[in-house]
Structures are given as structure tokens and as C-alpha cells.
Amino acid sequence: MIRALIVGLIGLVVAAFLRSLVQMIFKEMGEMVKPGGAAGSEKGQSAAGGKEQANASLKKCVVCGTYTTPDRMLGGSYCSAACQEKARAA
């Protein structure tokens, strides 16, 4: 009888933990789908306006074609040191 109660309590604790974990995962996935969610509305920007602005600020690596923010570009045209070396070798 006591064994069944202990197993039941452990099961309830595990179920509550799993429920909160699943809720947290779905919340994060929802924020990933709508990146301009609460933060964009606080600044007075629409999600579409923020997306256009983000796309406009990306630059394409001339070697591999990866889009990167301008502040992370090396030499203004390369996404990484490996791409920069590939361009020098060619």
C-alpha cells in the first residue's frame, strides 16, 4: 500500500515536471516563429518591418554565399578566415 502511494507521488512529480518542460519548449518555439513578438511591439515596430530591416543589413560572403552581419565580415567580403584564405589561394 505504501509502495503504491510512493510510486504514485513520484509519478505525479514526474508528470508535473514533464508538463512544465513541454510548455517551456512550446513557448520558446512560438517566440522563434514570431521573433518580433513582444520586443517588436514595445519598440513600435511591426514584425514585417523588423524582418525587412534585418534582411537589409546582411551581406553575402563572396566565397561560400553565407549571409552575415556586416560587423562580422572579414575584409568586408568574407564570412570567415577560411573563406578569406580560399579567396587568396584562388
Lowest mean pLDDT among 23-27, 28-32, 36-40, 85-89: 36-40
CA atoms within a 13 Å half-sphere pointing along the CA-CB vector of 12: 6
Contact, 66 vs 60, CB < 8 A? Answer: yes
CA 35 to chain centre: 9
Please say if the pLDDT value at position 64 is more than 60.
Answer: yes
d(CA 77, CA 60): 7
Q: What is the pTM of this model?
A: 0.38
Query: What would the grid cell of residue 49 be?
Result: 518591418
pLDDT at position 33: 81
